[in-house]
Amino acid sequence: MTSVRAISTPAIIGLTALAALGVVAYGYGEFGGWNAEGAGAAARYTARFSFPIFVAAWSASALATLWPGGWRSVMVRRRRAIGLSFAAAHFVHLAALLVGVFVFAAQPSAKTIYGGGFTYLLIAAMALTSNNWSVRKLGLRNWKMLHTIGGLAIAIVFAVSYLGRLDEKAWLAIPALTLLGSAALLKLLAWMKKRAPEAA
């Protein structure tokens, strides 16, 4: 049985992108094929698919700081693969929503276009700098700043998206917001642990 440790990063990204495309096909299939409802479902389901991958990437180092060892150490060692897999899955969300907009005339709000669009620029910058060459070129401090601000922006867009669905889809929004809130709490606790006197 090949363990996660052994699967290469490109393979993990490729498999995730393929699975996200499968989610797109499911969305269209659920609404009887190539139509506006199918496009809407494909956009929704691809965001739901990429969300837990984002939470795993965003909370990996906090989990390993608070509870070192075991699967937490594997997750933090493979964090780049997890982060790039999120980017791959979420660019499938972008493709799905662009089909909705340009083929089926969906009209996202200006807030979604500018807020989501800016966040996609950050996701692209994070993906393009997820390599040792960029860390050296940017310097660790600048690299960390980009990935911290990017991670926060993505978390905020997910939080706003699911807060906006609390009325119509509480069954979905409450677990999603709980998961995101737990990840934010873990990051805060890990930050406090790193700055605790005995840690110095």
- Contact set with ligand HEM (CB under 6 A): 40, 43-44, 47-48, 93, 97, 100, 106, 108, 112-113, 116-117, 119-120, 154, 157-158, 161, 172
Q: Which is nearer to ligand HEM, 17 or 135 (CB)?
A: 17
Residue closer to ligand HEM by CB (options 115, 129) is: 115
Report the distance separating Cα 90 and Cα 73, nearest Å: 25
If the CB atoms of residues 66 and 172 are measured against ligand HEM, the closer one turns out to be 172
Closest approach of ligand HEM to the CB of residue 197, in Å: 36
Q: Is 5 exposed, middle or buried (0-12, 13-18, 19+ CB in 10 A)?
A: exposed
Instruction: For tokens 């909370």, name the residue.
Output: 59
For the chain, the 3-state helix, strand and coil shares in percent, each to the nearest 5, are 85, 0, 15
**Closest residue by beta carbon to ligand HEM:** 116
Q: How far apart are CA 110 and CA 118, in angstroms?
A: 12
Question: Could you tell me the smallest distance in angstroms from the CB atom of residue 188 to ligand HEM?
Answer: 20
What's the maximum distance between 2 C-alpha atoms anywhere in the chain? 60
- Provide the minimum distance between the beta carbon of 95 and ligand HEM in the complex, in angstroms, as a whole number: 11
Q: How far is the CB of 46 from ligand HEM (least distance, A)?
A: 8
